[in-house]
Amino acid sequence: MQTAKITARAHTNIALIKYWGKKDEKLIIPQNSSLSLTLDHFYTDTTVQFDENLTKDHFSLNGKDCEATKVSAFLDLVRQKSGLDLPARVISVNHVPTMAGLASSASAYAALALAASTAAGLKLNKTELSRLARRGSGSACRSIYGGFVEWQKGHDDQSSFAKPFIEAPTWDIKMIAIVINAAKKKISSRFGMQHVVQTSPYYPAWVESTEQDLALIKDAILQEDFVKMGTLAEKSAMKMHALNLSADPHFNYFEPESLEAMQAVEQLRADGIACYYTMDAGPNVKVICQGQDLETILAKLKQHFRAEQLLVSAPGPGATLLERN
């Protein structure tokens, strides 16, 4: 028996109000709610087919065979839900550097959730897909939707999922990813979060202040107040990285060029250009700006970085099926 071969695409998302720390490591229940923007430039295409002729799961990423342990654990969730007890072949292509702090795991597991569940015959709604994607990577639950997305932390598997906030923003928002280092990061997000939760004396204050920031940024987005939104996003990112510096032992994801990028953005602001930076678990800096200022900002950044390091995105769509055969 072979199932249909299903291909799905999901885009990355960048959190404006960060999630950093789990309440439940196994179920990936976060300590705080978060809010993100799905991007059009970065995405993952994943094809899944269950096949009785296979003796085990096979996984390839960007044309290379890879260890399938994590993918198999995720597929086990799909097999459990569907009652389908067959190995699968998973072919994934990442149009985003892997494990470099550019949210490749978000797009990867969102695409895998949609492709695998569809191939297994499940007809999950978006809330159910979001819950499933969360089990692979927390931020993947947000990539089920486009535009601005809120992940409500919940308290268990049923109550922790993402929901759309504004799926199709009408204002001209851009995000410039400054790719400083696309190599695999030395400290994984999962380990970094766990270490911070266990050792940072400031962690309780992070959880409390993040809930306040979430309410404020939702209001700013509804009002299309770009300055307020950008200010809150930048503050959230820096508070997250401050937690890493306060852990014991401390660690960080910064590289010299990360600081150079942040200083360039701060200089642009001093010159009257509204733009703000955010960073996830990696050295790459994302600049949030408005379309009207894009060329001015790019010209400034090209004084510090090569043109190919500057990747421009706009709000992107949610996860979609591409092919069935």
Note whether 275 and 264 are within 8 A (CB).
no
Per-residue pLDDT of the chain (325 residues; tens, 9 = 90+): 899 999 999 999 999 999 999 999 999 999 999 999 999 989 999 999 999 999 999 999 999 999 999 999 999 999 999 999 999 999 999 987 654 456 689 999 999 999 999 999 999 999 999 999 999 999 999 999 999 999 999 999 999 999 999 999 999 999 999 999 877 778 888 899 999 999 999 999 999 999 999 999 999 999 999 999 999 999 999 999 999 999 999 999 999 999 999 999 999 999 999 999 999 998 999 999 999 999 999 999 999 999 989 999 999 999 999 966 6
Domains and CATH numbers, the chain: 6-168 (3.30.230.10), 173-313 (3.30.70.890)
pLDDT one-digit tens code per residue, 284-296: 999 999 999 999 9
Q: Which residue has the tokens 């995405």?
A: 43
Ranges of H-type helices in the chain: 69-82, 104-119, 126-134, 189-199, 203-222, 226-246, 256-270, 294-301
3-state helix vs strand vs coil in the chain, percent to 5: 40, 25, 35
Note whether 295 and 156 are within 8 A (CB).
no
Q: Please give the Cα distance from 101 to 138 (Å, whole number).
A: 14
Note whether 117 and 81 are within 8 A (CB).
yes
Residue 220 has a pLDDT of 98
State the chain's mean pLDDT as an integer.
95
The per-residue b/e assignment along 242-259, b for 16 or more CB within 10 angstroms, e otherwise, is ebbeebeeeeebbeebbe
The angle formed by the CA atoms of residues 153, 155 and 160, to the nearest 5 degrees, is 45
pLDDT one-digit tens code per residue, 216-235: 999 999 999 999 999 999 99
The angle formed by the CA atoms of residues 299, 305 and 311, to the nearest 5 degrees, is 75
Nearest to 92 by CA among 120, 56, 116, 127: 116
pLDDT one-digit tens code per residue, 9-54: 999 999 999 999 999 999 999 999 999 999 998 999 999 999 999 9
Q: Are strands 64-66 and 34-50 parallel, antiparallel or unpaired?
A: unpaired
Structure tokens at 14: 């960048």
Residue 96 has a pLDDT of 76
Structure tokens at 275: 């733009």
